[in-house]
Amino acid sequence: MEIGMVGLGRMGANMARRLARSGHRVIGFDPSEEARKAVESDGIGTASSLDDLCELLRPPRVVWLMVPAGAPTQKTIAHLLERVGPSDILVDGGNSHYKDSLEMAKLCEAAEVEFVDAGTSGGIWGLQEGYCLMVGASVEAFSRLEPALKALAPEGGLLHTGAPGSGHYVKMVHNGIEYGMLEAYGEGFELLKRGPFDLQLEEVAELWRHGSVVRSWLLDLLAQALEKDPELQHLRGYVDDSGEGRWTAVEAIERGVAAPVITLSLQQRFLSRQEDTLANRVIAALRNEFGGHKVESR
């Protein structure tokens, strides 16, 4: 089938390549000329603008967006709705908030355009391993997209989660769980490092990959990283967040669902970005005031 791919960054470009390698005709667009040229060498056609992309695609069109969540995605969809027509499909494969996806679905429905939200997991390994796809769509739209979806996903890695919005809801919770898992690995290896034994962290990580109940793909990646740098000294302990952990924590609060691990893992990420915080200085001052505990001066 024929697909337009908007956004040729790390994810979008590799998804375009995987589709092309499976025999699908892909036309890509990215504001960056460098990004466009990078995929042209893989036999992928490119467009110089969104308008050009819509002209090059044959109706009924399929346009897949891999652009930043929020205003960039909303503006892109609004622009496309002025140029696509009835029975065309717009797919948001980025990390949009599911509530935004519900709003985009309404706009598309009013224009008689199918909206699909495809929660996508796989990162930079997706080209090789495939992408886990959580797809919110009408039955008709999912059926039409299925050949491309199957090309992108590994065996067992594709699910029609339900109506539009459901795909990004599942992906949001997926990323919240990821936050908790990453935090647990981080805390565990910190404890191993600070323990009373001279442990080789890369050896422990490799050991746990085989038969342990905590083995996972994340542990595979950690073992790989520790093999290169046993104490990860080339990195600064600054941990960013894409927003989905925040959304998961807020959703849990709104629905009265206890999610302490996910919420605390998010807070730990915030803490990682602060050095010599006022909060810690307050605690140190109070301990010194009430108990005479030792403090360190700057």
Q: Determine the average pLDDT of the residues in 192-198.
A: 95
Whether 283 has a pLDDT exceeding 90, the answer reads no
Residues 6+ apart with CB under 8 A from 181: 216, 218
Q: Degrees (nearest 5) of the Cα angle 158, 132, 252?
A: 100
Residue 236 is predicted with a pLDDT of 83
Q: Determine the average pLDDT of the residues in 21-44.
A: 95
Domain with CATH 3.40.50.720 in the chain: 2-164
Whether 146 has a pLDDT exceeding 90, the answer reads yes
Cβ–Cβ under 8 Å, residues 272 and 241: no
Superfamily of segment(s) 171-281: N-(1-d-carboxylethyl)-l-norvaline Dehydrogenase; domain 2 (1.10.1040.10)
Whether 298 has a pLDDT exceeding 80, the answer reads no
Q: Determine the average pLDDT of the residues in 203-208.
A: 97
Residues 6+ apart with CB under 8 A from 124: 10, 11, 14
Residue with tokens 């897949």, as numbered in its chain: 64
Q: Would you place residue 93 in the very low, low, confident or very high pLDDT band (cuts 50, 70, 90)?
A: very high
Whether 221 has a pLDDT exceeding 80, the answer reads yes
Mind giving me the DSSP string for 219-247? HHHHHHHHHH-TT-TTS-S-----SHHHH
Q: Determine the average pLDDT of the residues in 188-211.
A: 95
**Which residue has better confidence, 25 or 284?**
25
Dihedral (CA of 156, 162, 165, 169) sign: negative
Q: Determine the average pLDDT of the residues in 227-237.
A: 87
Query: Cα separation of 9 and 27, whole Å?
Result: 14
User: The sheet that has 132-136: what strands, in order across it?
Assistant: 45-46, 25-29, 2-6, 62-65, 89-92, 114-121, 132-136, 158-162
Quickly count: other Cβ atoms within 10 Å of residue 274's Cβ: 11
Quickly count: other Cβ atoms within 10 Å of residue 53's Cβ: 22
Closest CA to 163 of 108, 216, 121: 108
Whether 280 has a pLDDT exceeding 80, the answer reads no
Quickly count: other Cβ atoms within 10 Å of residue 23's Cβ: 9
Domain with CATH 1.10.1040.10 in the chain: 171-281
Query: Cα separation of 66 and 93, whole Å?
Result: 5
Q: Determine the average pLDDT of the residues in 267-279.
A: 82
Q: Determine the average pLDDT of the residues in 49-69.
A: 96
Query: Cα separation of 114 and 29, whole Å?
Result: 20
pTM beyond 0.95: no
Percent of the chain with pLDDT over 90: 83
**Which of the residues are catalytic?**
171, 178
Mean pLDDT taken over the chain: 94
Closest CA to 98 of 127, 140, 69, 66: 69
Three-state DSSP class for residue 115: strand
Superfamily of segment(s) 2-164: NAD(P)-binding Rossmann-like Domain (3.40.50.720)
Residue with tokens 């598309």, as numbered in its chain: 108
Q: Determine the average pLDDT of the residues in 81-90.
A: 95
Residue with tokens 């466009």, as numbered in its chain: 36
